[in-house]
Structure 1
Amino acid sequence: MAPFTRQKTIFEARTKRRIHKIVPWIQNPLQGVDKEHLVFAPRHEASTLELFFDLFFVANLATFTAYHSIIDHSSLFAYVGFFAIIWVTWFHTVLYDVRFENDSIYSRACKTVIMIAFVGFALVGSAFAPGTEKGDNTNFRILCYTLVLSRILFALQYLVVGVFVGRARRTDLYLPIFLNVLTYVVAAGVFAGLIPLFPDDKKATAENGIYSVWWIVMALETVATISISCIWRMLSFKKTHLVERMGLLTLIVIGEGAIGVTKTISRLMGKSGLEPEASGLVLCILLILVGTWMIYFDNHPHGHFGTIRQQIWSALHFPIHLAIVGLVEGAQQVALARYVSNNGLKLEKSFVQYCFKDHLDGEALADKLLSAIDYFHLDKKLGSLVFLDGIESDVYAIGNSTGICGPDVMGTSGADFPSAILFLYAKVVAAMYSALGLNLPLDEDVLAVMFESWKLVYRYFWAAFLVLTGCFLVVMVLIRTTKTDAFDYTACFGRGAVIVASASILALSASKDVMYNIIETPVILPVAVGLMYLIIILDRFGAWIANRRNRRSGDPLIGAGHGHGHDHHGGGHHAEHGGHGQSDAGDKQSLIASERPVSPPDSDRRISYNPLGTAVMPSYYATGPPAYTSPEPTPPATVTYATGGYMPVYDPHYSGDAWERGR
């Protein structure tokens, strides 16, 4: 473009005026109704406000994980319980957003209120320890207030939807909207009724069952909300972006595990630099994250696969997300346990040398012990500072004593240490463990607590692996919309075999000696990686076999490029199977004709054989296919309402100007 022309264009643009966007105060949720399918579908992708809200969920999870170390069953129960509280609240927010939310001042205000509720959850999570002596009734009352706030907000949101439904005279939606409002009002009332049960002068214990009310109410309200959407199909999630929302949160949860990997690297190799075994363990954790992403998103649905099945699939994400968090957190704890075990063996070897072989005594023994302890830089780590005074006192007492490691003291391992050396060894190992951010009680046998925590880590790591694999198996059954083929068989077989293997490994924890011997080796994470990638390999092999057979079957194929397409998650074999791929034109489920030649309709009109080797085409094919006349159109059948609240496929009442009355 010439300079003069460009300047003229810029001048003309500057003389124009534009209309600025003004966010409306409130929008009618009926504007988002899909008139063809008669369902609420305001948009087909997540908004930035929804993604912004997801960050509050992950921030709560990350903060709670940082402040709560899983060292016993009560801490594990608190972790699972708090995760359930924030996940269910997030889930109910999503169930409303994907059907009714449109950008407006009202929707932004509602989202701000629910964000405030999640800030309250963060305050509660810092000291959430139900059923233990650390439990704080003030903290529990704050949790009840926060739950009441969130449920009142949900009730008001559905009530506003009911107002617009009433203005549009949608009488068939009065009852389901009212039931949604009633569900959240009752839940808010129950949570409010729990507030007086947490007085300051009396602690609520686990025996009275008060804590279970939180999770019972949340389970019932979730079942009620999903059941309403299943009965009244207009409130279903058929044309919504619920699948995308669940996938995005799954991606964020996996990403939170990636943050944990970086922390594990700094804990294992931040001071000492690269170590082969520690590097291998970190690589295994990374491969677990990548494998989880591959298995989930390679088999992620991209369209509607059944109203009820879709709701079951969405609710199934609670155990999926919980298992992912437990698997990643457990993998990090396994790596840290192996790190402490290695350092403990190094320390034990040094103590055996000084006491049983060199038979040092007095000041010489104290100097050697301090030199061995200084190697681990416990004075430079915040978590181990609380142990330093006790360690120095023990070393000082050993230096002022004689005969502790005299010539008559014999032994070959830490089990033979004299009591003074054994107590010192236990404190140093506990300091190593606490230096990694895992808090141990100082008033108990720290070694016993540490070994019990390792036992728990082993169990919940493999339990999470087992649950996650089982959920992946159920997902494969739920999302299948085509004929069963080799891919389905191999996918189910692979997941079933991994379930049996992981259950067998979990059962080894029944033997204390066997389990501790396994923990002291670095094989746990590599075995988990091998099992996970066995699923991926079998999926790919099954997809290859299924594609070959499906192309030769002569049946219509669903998929891009006769099964050679790919979806946007990068799962090639997934696009080849099951109809979830994307074609070059963007059609996710295009019907593709079979490559097998079709026989002519008249068996007598066949291609004649020429002795010279050429085929002669009969006149039937030369002149082209015969012309067909369209049959006379039949008048549309009268549409009536089905029982149980199911919506009709078409009704003039839900088309045209009738929808506009709701504006």
Structure 2
Amino acid sequence: MKPRDPNEPHRAASPLELFFDLVFVVAVAFSSAQLHHMETHGHAAEGVVGYLMIFFAIWWAWMNFTWFATSFGTDDWLYRVLTVLQMGGVLILAAGASRAMEEGDFSLGVIGYIIMRLALVGQWLRAAANNPEYRPTAYRYAIGIVIIQVMWVGYLFVPKSLGVIAFIVLALIEISVPLFAESKKTTPWNAHHITERYGLFTLILLGESILASTNAVVDAIETGHHLNDLLIISGSGLLIAAGMWWVYFAREHHEHIDGIRSSVTFGYFHYFIFAAAGAFSAGIEVAIDYIGGEAHLNEIVGAATLSVPVAVFFLAVWWLTLRKSLSGVGSGFFLLGVAVMAAAVVVPGVWSVTAVAVGAILSVVAVEVGSRAGSGLADEATLGQFN
């Protein structure tokens, strides 16, 4: 298991990595479905807290494998076996999502999570055995992960009244492991490859929102009831999802990571982007239930299940990738659009208001980012003439 070249040109996601993503999306789908179920039945606050906790486990295990694979992705038989073992762990975690979010019983989720993490420890030990240069970093990862897994076992015995606080403490310790490990020597990650991996996972999450929007059309055709309302939900859901895609991919992302601090910021901040994208699909399903009279929650909370995740997504993308690309006026209009999304919970027609706000944000991004990109191409063409 030798390190990959961090400057390797045309480095793309491998079939194994894509397969890995699809398995993780199963866990996201289970957690989003449970969030939808709890929101629909009037337990929105408990559902959101449980969802954020389960999603942390999904996101963190996915992210750790992704960063490891960009540095030591040998793709031999043992690497594949250990990767498939991690997939098995995420399926166990997915199976325990409902019990964890609804009953606070994280036993099955912790078992699945520990399987994923210990399989990664095996990968780090292989890297340590084959690379004297990166051996201290690899051992630090392995030791840190094992210690925190013992703590997660202890978490199962924490009283439920302290469950959320204990989870936050352990999560903070968990995300500190890379900071500890990489302080010795950073692993040879590939900026283009890693940002492609994040982009592909974002696409898959947005695809779930498209599926939810399609469900609105299916319900409208099969039942024949509330046809206009369901078609509005479907069309607006497609527009909003397309806007989320457009804004996320408005700029190249590899330029945002050039050191340990920027890479940690980029990776960690995607928790909010990924979680918001997953919650958005649940919000669409809640809206379908609300129109059909099957949702047991008030109108404001129902609207918030849609508009708040979208607002969080746009705000996170702006902070992470766009705020340095937009002018002060452009950022002002962008943030105004986000504020309109958040305020849409108290305005009739949350779908229409949110869709209009997305359209306004896209106009700003298209004009400012597009014009700068065009200017850059023009400058390159001018230089080419002189050369």
Q: Does 1:45 align with 2:12?
A: yes
In 2: Cα distance, 1:192 partner to 1:335 partner: 39
Residues 341-367 of structure 1, C-alpha deviations (whole Å, 9 max, x = no match): xxxxxxxxxxxxxxxxxxxxxxxxxxx
Q: Is the 8 A contact 1:99 1:240 kept in 2?
A: no
Sort the Cα spacing of 1:42 and 1:159 in 2 relative to 1 into closer, same or farther, 3 A: farther
Task: Decide whether aligned partners of structure 1 residues 74 and 532 sit closer, same or farther in structure 2, where only a CA change above 3 A counts.
Answer: same
Pairing partner for 1:493 from 299, 318, 332: 332
**% of aligned pairs identical?**
16
Q: Distance in 1 between matches of 2:386 and 2:87?
A: 60
Separation in 2, partners of 1:82, 1:252: 18
Please tell me whether residue 185 in structure 1 is matched to residue 146 in structure 2.
yes
2:61–2:116: 8 Å Cα contact kept in structure 1?
yes
1:571-614 Cα deviation digits (max 9, x unpaired): xxxxxxxxxxxxxxxxxxxx55459999xxxxxxxxxxxxxxxx
Say if 2:125 is the partner of 1:159.
Answer: yes
In structure 2, give the amino acid aligned to 1:542. E
Following TM superposition, by how much is the alpha carbon of 1:53 offset from its aligned partner in structure 2, in angstroms?
1.0
**1:79 aligns with one of 27, 47, 51:** 51
1:148 to 84, 99, 114: 114
User: Which amino acid in 1 is paired with 2:15?
Assistant: T
- Deviation at 1:212? 3.8
Change (3 A) 1:187 1:129: same
Q: Please identify, of 532-541 and 67-76, the stretch whose mean Cα deviation from structure 2 is larger.
A: 67-76
Structure 2 distance, partners of 1:109, 1:227, is 28
Deviations 1:372-398 (A, max 9, x none): xxxxxxxxxxxxxxxxxxxxxxxxxxx
Q: What is the SS of the residue equivalent to 2:223?
A: coil
Q: Is the 8 A contact 1:44 1:241 kept in 2?
A: yes
Q: In the superposition, relative to structure 1, how do residues 491 and 29 fare at CA in structure 2: closer, same or farther (>3 Å)?
A: farther
Q: Could you give the per-residue CA deviations for residues 287-314 of structure 1, whole angstroms, max 9, x where no partner exists?
A: 1111111111122425565223233122
**Cα offset, 1:319, TM superposition:** 0.2
Q: Return the alpha-carbon distance in structure 2 between the equivalents of residues 49 and 335 of structure 1.
A: 36
Tell me whether 1:241 sits opposite 2:193 in the alignment: yes
* CA distance in structure 1 between the partners assigned to 2:31 and 2:250 by the alignment: 30
Task: Give the Cα–Cα distance (whole angstroms) in 2 for the partners of residues 211 and 95 of structure 1.
Answer: 28
1:323 paired residue among 276, 287, 290:
276
Query: How far did 1:215 drift?
Result: 4.3
Q: CA deviation at 1:264?
A: 2.4
Q: Does 1:531 align with 2:370?
A: no
User: Residue 319 of structure 2: which of 474, 493, 510 is its match?
Assistant: 474
Contact 2:307 2:341 in 1 (8 A): yes
Structure 1: state its 5+ residue gaps: 1-27, 199-203, 341-431, 439-449, 507-514, 551-557, 564-590, 599-663
Which residues in structure 2 correspond to 1:158-557 (within 5 Å)?
Answer: 158-166=124-132, 170=133, 173-195=134-156, 197=157, 204-205=159-160, 207=161, 209-226=162-179, 228-229=181-182, 231-232=183-184, 234-239=186-191, 241-272=193-224, 275-303=227-255, 305-307=257-259, 308-337=261-290, 339-340=291-292, 432-433=293-294, 450-452=296-298, 454-477=299-322, 487-506=326-345, 515=346, 518=347, 521=348, 523-543=349-369, 546=372
Give 1:92 shift.
1.2
Scaled by the length of structure 2, the TM-score of the pair is 0.87
Q: Secondary structure at the match of 1:103?
A: coil
C-alpha separation in 1, matches of 2:286 and 2:16: 34
* Counterpart secondary structure, 1:270: helix
Query: Structure 1 residue 226: deviation in Å?
Result: 4.6
1:323 CA drift (Å): 1.3
Give the drift of 1:155.
Answer: 1.9
Change (3 A) 1:216 1:264: farther
Are residues 1:59 and 2:26 paired?
yes
| Residues 80, 477 of structure 1: alpha-carbon distance in 2 compared, 3 angstrom cutoff | same
* Alpha-carbon spacing, 1:194–1:457, altered in 2? closer, same or farther (3 Å): same
The residue matched to 2:253 in structure 1 has which SS?
coil
Structure 1 counterpart SS, 2:131? helix
Amino acid aligned to 1:148: I
In 2, Cα distance between equivalents of 1:226 and 1:242: 18
CA distance in 2, matches of 1:80, 1:269: 34
Max Rg structure: 1
Partner SS for 1:474:
helix
Q: Which residue of 2 aligns with 1:104?
A: 76
Q: Note the C-alpha offset of 1:503.
A: 4.1
Between the aligned partners of 2:235 and 2:337, the Cα distance in structure 1 is: 21
- What is the CA-CA distance between 1:244 and the residue it aligns to? 0.6
Shift of 1:135: 4.0
Provide Cα deviations, 1:56-93, integer angstroms capped at 9, x if missing partner.
11112223333451232112222222122211111111
SS in 2 for 1:127: helix
Deviation at 1:240, TM superposition (A): 5.7
| Shift in Å, 1:165 | 1.6
Deviation track 1:449-501 (CA, whole Å, cap 9, x = no partner) reads: x244x4323234332233222112212357x5xxx7xx544542332222333
2:213 and 2:234 in contact (8 A); partners too: yes
d(CA) in 2 for partners of 1:122, 1:543: 39
User: Structure 2 stretches of 5 or more lacking a match?
Assistant: none
Question: Partner residue of 1:118?
Answer: 90
Which has a greater percent of helix?
2
For residue 46 of structure 1, give the secondary structure of its aligned residue in structure 2.
Answer: coil
Q: In 1, distance between residues paired with 2:312 and 2:97?
A: 25
Quick one: structure 1 residues 118 and 538, their matched pair in 2 at CA, closer, same or farther if it must change by over 3 Å?
Answer: same
Tell whether the 8 Å contact from 2:32 to 2:281 is kept in structure 1 after alignment. Answer: no
Change (3 A) 1:280 1:255: same
Q: Which amino acid aligns with 1:29?
A: K
* Structure 1 counterpart SS, 2:245: helix
Give the number of equivalent residue pairs: 381
Computed over aligned residues only, the root mean square deviation of the Cα atoms, in angstroms, reads 3.0
> Structure 1 residues 29 and 75, CA, compared in 2 at 3 Å: closer, same or farther?
same
Q: CA deviation at 1:275?
A: 2.6
| Contact preservation (8 Å) 2:311, 2:338 | yes
In structure 2, do the counterparts of structure 1 residues 43 and 105 end up closer, same or farther at CA, with 3 Å as the change threshold?
Answer: farther
Q: Contact conserved, 2:28 with 2:55, CA < 8 A, in 1?
A: yes
Contact 1:42 1:101 in 2 (8 A): no
Q: Please say if residues 137 and 184 of structure 2, whose CA atoms lie closer than 8 Å, have aligned partners that are also in contact.
A: yes
Matched to 2:246, the amino acid is M
